[in-house]
Every structure is written in C-alpha cells, then in structure tokens.
Amino acid sequence: MTEKKARIAVLVSGGGTNLQALIDACKSGIIRSGEIKLVISNNASAYALTRARDNGIHAVFVSRKKNGGQEGFERKIKELLEKYEIDLIVLAGFMSILSADFTSRYPRRILNIHPSLIPSFCGEGFYGLKVHEAALARGVKVTGATVHFVNEIPDGGEILLQKAVAILPADTPEVLQKRVMEEAEWKLLPQAVEMVSGDIITEE
Ligand code: GAR
C-alpha cells in the first residue's frame, strides 16, 4: 500500500537554499507526510529552478510580464496548482507579494519563511538581505526566523514556529543572513512543512 502524502508546491525567486533544505528533509525522512511535486519561480534565472530539476522535481518559470501583470501571473500559478493537485503551498524565498484574492483561496494552506522574529522587521519592503540590514541598523542583539501561515497581510498570518539567533558584534548583513539560515531557517521550514502536511493527510 502506498502511503498518502500531501502534495507540495514550493514558490521561489532566488538561490533556493530553503528549497534545498526541504528537498534534503524529504530524503532524510524529516518530512515524511508530504512530497514536493512542483517548484514555481517568478525569476527565470533563479538557481532554485536548477536545484529542483537536479532532483527530478518539475520546475516552472512564470513571468509576471508575459502573463500581463499580477492578475494573469496569479491565474497561471492557480492553473499549475490545480494541474498538480497541490495541497500545500510553501513560499521559500518568494520575493513577490500575493494578492488577497489569491491568499484567501488557500486558508492555512500557504506557509512562508521570514528571516526575522515577526513582528520585528517584517511587512512590505522587508525581504532578503534588507531584513538583516534593518536589524543591524536598529542594534538589536537577537534576531531569528519565523514560519507563518500567509493571509492578506504581508507577514501578518498566524505564526507557527520561531527560532531566535544571536547577533554578534562583527556581523555584516551577509554574515548574519547566513547564520539565521543555518541556525533557524533550514531547520524550522522542514519542521513546519511536516507539521502541516501531517495535518492535511490526517484531515482527509
Ligand atoms: C531567505 O532568507 C528567506 O527567509 C528570505 O529570503 C531568503 C531566500 O533565500 N525570504 C524573505 O525575505 C521573504 N520575505 P533562499 O532563496 O536561499 O531560500
């Protein structure tokens, strides 16, 4: 008998180290209730697409421009999610804000990883390295990462998991970004994906 698993789509924009953490977690068994069926990027040259294909995962670039803007872009994503019968959407370094029309279709079915302790350094304009630049500029001594459900408020949905990471005196934004990824993001995201995937398969 084949075990039922939640079907996961991962949305990416860049390097895809969080995607890699999810792929590794599927292989090691940290994620056992879900499997990655599809990777979607809004950036044609995202290395995350290569990571997906190298691991036999279907990977697609969806252009906002070629789809006539946000509405067409989201329509195309929805079509793909339906085609691949996706149960859970994971935003892993996806640097594009989804409309309320989109997010309201998938309540508690979209996860996002954010590289700070929400509600600090989050919301519109806070993404990638900018988050760590802001944390260092403010002089906080502790930062971290958060996994949360996505709703219509950027970084405003229910928090699932958080992990704190120390800021050290010599930190640059790049050094801090790497520590937050290694100590928090790459652990939290697979954990959260397993939690929600487990809920999905037991609900059905
Ligand atoms: C990660 O630090 C992720 O938390 C962040 O971008 C980076 C992507 O890296 N996401 C956001 O800032 C979203 N608001 P990756 O492509 O190597 O996973």
* Residue 14 forms part of a structural domain: yes
Three-class DSSP category at 97: coil
Task: Compute, in angstroms, the gap from residue 85 CA to the centroid of ligand 1.
Answer: 25
Residue 75 in any domain: the answer is yes
Q: Are strands 110-114 and 88-91 parallel, antiparallel or unpaired?
A: parallel
Q: Evaluate whether residue 24 is within a structural domain.
A: yes
Choose the residue to mutate in 23, 118, 185 for probing ligand 1, maximizing ligand atoms within 8 Å of C-beta. Answer: 185
Inform me whether the pLDDT recorded for 204 exceeds 90: no
The pLDDT-based confidence of 112 (bands split at 50, 70, 90) is: very high
Domain count, the chain: 1
Give the whole-angstrom CA distance, residue 178 versus residue 128.
11
Domain membership flag for residue 155: yes
- Could you tell me if residue 21 is inside a domain? yes
Q: Classify residue 152: in a domain, yes or no.
A: yes
Please indicate, yes or no, if residue 126 is contained in any of the structural domains.
yes
Contact residues for 42 (Cβ-Cβ < 8 A; gap 6+): 11, 13, 61, 62, 63, 64, 73, 94, 95, 96
What is the model's pLDDT at position 3?
A: 81
Arithmetic mean of pLDDT, 80-90: 98
Mean pLDDT of 131-141: 98
Mutate to test the pocket of ligand 1, among 40, 42, 131 (most ligand atoms within 8 A of CB): 131
Flag whether 1 is in a domain.
no
Atom of ligand 1 nearest to the CA of 122: 14
Give residue 203's pLDDT band: very low, low, confident or very high (50, 70, 90).
confident
Can you give the CATH number for the domain in which 82 is found? 3.40.50.170
Domain span at 52: 6-203
Helices (H), 85-171: 100-103, 129-138
pLDDT at 1 over 70: no
Phi, psi of 191 (to 5 degrees): -60, -45
